[in-house]
Structure 1
Amino acid sequence: MIKKEYNTINDFLDDDSFKNWVLQNNGTDVGFWDFWIANNKDKEELVSTAKDLVLGISFNQQTVDKEKVSLEWQKLEAKIKAKNPVPKKKVKYLKTFSVAASILLLISIGIYFSFNNTKMTHKTSYGEILNIKLLDGSRVTLNSNSSLSYYKNESRKVWLSGEAFFQVDKKVTTNAKFWVITDDLSVEVYGTSFNVNTKKQKTDVFLEEGNIWLKLNNGIDKKMIPGNYISYSAEKNKILEDINTFDSTLKTSWKNGSLLFENLSLEKAMEKIEESYGYSIIFNDDASKNTLITGAVPITNIDICLKAIEKSADVNIIKKDSSLIISKK
């Protein structure tokens, strides 16, 4: 997939993974190119030029409607004739010039709005975590099997599917709001740190620092304070959980590559593994389900993760196709 030598601009432009890095479309490619560029400082100028070219040719240029061009020409021609009558031999030249100018103007406007309204989407696969810096300076850590979307001209309004941790950059001079939108609710922020998880047909929000407002889809507003955890389901039209916790790592440890459990049943703990890797969980006995687990397990490597859980919970875990089968030792 990746070339070994990049000595010319075309070497970069011919590589789809490089284009994905420029457009931030693929977490794996983004990670590779961030590492490659950091270790190939002598190619920075080539990378910069190639990046500019990719951005330049990726405009979504929309064709201009012929009727709009004709209408603009008629308006312009009428104004010119009314104010400045010209000799007949110059009319042909003026008409050609005016039509060209009108078309150029309309195309320029179309390109400008099309480019600035480009929808940006970041996606992660199972077992992948992606760090994103938005155009306004805010930082997002996107968990596995998740996606984050926003429009290029409005990066302080994002749509989330899955899980992400946000560190929102506060705009002191403009006091501009930051919005996170899910299927269940909207999070209204000015500048703060918080976690949002939209998996399991509900949205869970944990506030680590600052203050935020939740606008639930049923019309109710909820103010959150640090340590507050709220789970809401629009499908069930109710708040499922509203508690306070003083250990933020229990809700946000995943962004550092591990899951932290504190007297949690193995059944609940394996739900997190299911979210991260997509495996179906099968318990062969109730004793395994109810076993309590405490401690941290790594989530960047599924095999190491399962070994740690087996040791902590005293169970056997067998991978079979897309399932994890769990039983007591």
Structure 2
Amino acid sequence: MSKKKYNTINDFLEDASFENWALQNNGTDINFWEFWIANNPDKEEIVNKAKDLILGFSFDKKFVNKEKVALEWKKLEAKIQAKKIAPKRKVRFLRQFSAAASILLLISLSFYFTNSDDKVTHKTDFGEILNIKLQDGSDVTLNSNSSLSYYKNESRKVWLTGEAFFQVDKKVVTNAKFWVLTDDLSLEVYGTSFNVNTKKKKTDVYLEEGNIWLKFKNGDDKKMIPGGYISYSSKKNKILEDKNILNPIIKTSWKNGSLLFENLSLEKAMEKIEENYGYSIVFKDEKSKNTLITGAVPSKNIDICIKAIEKSVDVIIIKKGDSLIIRKK
């Protein structure tokens, strides 16, 4: 720990002991960082920025109550049996159940069933992250303004709109495939970790570990290896990017509550803010657009996010309605 160099906000944010100090969780870490800060006064400003970001994170991940889901399915099955016995009451029964299901939607926070075809859909709002445990044991982290759908008895085939990180449970005995389908392509997986983003009318895939076969809408296919990143647009009928990512946390940090920028123009960085929070971005001058930013901002607290960006690149950001207006100081 003492041999590591701390020169950027990312260096601090990626260190678990620093987080413990900021949150006052571990006596050893607290003592170490108090000593380190006292002996590195030139790093006080960057230390405070990193600490503000950690304290600003407000994780509010929502989990579906499995017992509640099971109970509702038992109720549904019982009512379906009752419907078969008394077909004349079909319309009335469906209307009553629809009202009950609407109430359940509000309670479950982003989780609902489409009863007509046994399809399950999870949705998130802007600034919301949702952890999902699929029936096959796979884990999915759903990013803001996104949705994931699958059929009740076939959770190893999912449809994604938006962004999600997958940790697919490998079925050694049956060697069962796992499929992710988007408007641009489909991913064939056996057991691996990867990130998929369908925003901006294209599909971006980053493979963290394992192997993936991509099947594009034009009929072509391609195998990916760990560290690979591919961006494909079916509308343009071509691969937009195909490269290796040297700093993988840039693509997956959102699932831990932060957006990381590495020598990125403020214009490109604000596109991520727009995706995550839903605000329209308005630049008042060209100089602000081209300012480079390196650092981390919270993905769930817009006020802390704005404050961090203002400090990092010396701009003023004003919230006005559903817009963020940016100009140089």
- Fold match by TM threshold 0.5: yes
Judge conservation of contact 1:316–1:327 (CA < 8 Å) in 2: yes
CA contact (8 A) 2:63 2:130 kept: no
Deviation per residue, 1:38-81 (Å, 9 max, x gap): xxxxxxxxx95x65432211248396699xxxxxxxxxxxxxxx
Could you list the runs of 5+ residues in structure 1 that have no partner in the other structure? 1-27, 35-46, 67-113
Alpha carbon RMSD of aligned pairs, Å?
2.5
Tell me, yes or no, if structure 1 residue 194 matches structure 2 residue 225: no
More relative contact order, 1 or 2 (CA 8 Å, 6+ apart): 2
Deviation, 1:141, is: 0.2
Post-superposition CA distance 1:155-180 (Å, at most 9, x none): 00000000000000000000000000
- What secondary structure sits across from 1:127 in the alignment? coil
- SS of residue paired to 2:80: coil
Mapped partners of 1:199, 1:245: distance in 2: 19
Matched-pair contact (CA < 8 Å) for 2:61–2:131: no
Match of 2:73 in 1: 55
Deviation, 1:300, is 1.4
Q: Indicate the residue corresponding to 2:242 in structure 1.
A: 242
Kept in 1: contact 2:177–2:188 (CA 8 A): yes
**In structure 2, distance between residues paired with 1:233 and 1:151:** 26
Aligned residue in 1 for 2:143: 143
Q: Paired residue for 1:258?
A: 258
User: How big is the shift at 1:308?
Assistant: 0.4
Q: Matched residue pairs, number?
A: 242
Percent of aligned positions that are identical: 74
Supply the distance in 1 between the matched residues of 2:120 and 2:70 (Cα, whole angstroms).
17
Task: Output the amino acid matched with 2:268.
Answer: K
Name the aligned partner's letter for residue 80 of structure 2: Q
Distance 1:221 1:65, change over 3 A: farther
Question: What's the TM-score once normalised by structure 2's chain length?
Answer: 0.69
1:93-137 residue CA offsets vs partner (Å, 9 max, x unmatched): xxxxxxxxxxxxxxxxxxxxx989510000000000000000000
The one-letter code matched in structure 1 to 2:136 is D
Matches of 2:190 and 2:319, distance apart in 1: 45
SS in 1 for 2:319: strand
Per the alignment, in what secondary structure is the counterpart of residue 61 of structure 1? helix
Seen in structure 2, the aligned counterparts of structure 1 residues 52 and 150 have a Cα distance that, compared at 3 Å, is closer
Aligned to 1:328: 328
One-letter amino acid matched to 1:61: I
1:18 aligned residue: none
Q: Which residue is equivalent to 1:78?
A: none
Cα pair 1:116 1:153 within 8 Å, conserved = no
Kindly tell me: are residues 51 and 297 of structure 1, through their superposed partners in 2, closer, same or farther at Cα, counting changes over 3 Å? closer
CA-CA distance at 1:238 after TM superposition: 0.8
* CA radius of gyration, larger in: 1
Distance in 1 (alpha carbons) for counterparts of 2:116 and 2:210: 31
SS in 1 for 2:159: strand
Cα displacement (A) at 1:319: 0.4
* Partner amino acid, structure 2, of 1:245: I
Distance (Å, rounded) in 1 between the aligned partners of 2:170 and 2:70: 29
Q: State the match for 1:309 in structure 2.
A: 309
Q: Displacement of 1:299 after TM fit?
A: 1.1
Counterpart Cα distance in 1 of 2:208 and 2:63:
31
Q: Secondary structure of the equivalent of 1:268? A: helix
**SS of aligned partner of 1:148:** strand
Q: 1:116 to 1:248 in 2, by over 3 A?
A: farther
Code of the aligned partner of 1:236: K
Q: Is residue 2:243 matched to residue 1:214? A: no
* Alpha-carbon distance in structure 1 between the residues aligned to 2:210 and 2:275: 28
Q: Counterparts in 2 of 1:260-275, with a 5 A limit?
A: 260-275=260-275
C-alpha deviation, 1:32, in angstroms: 7.5
Q: 2:118 aligns to what?
A: 118
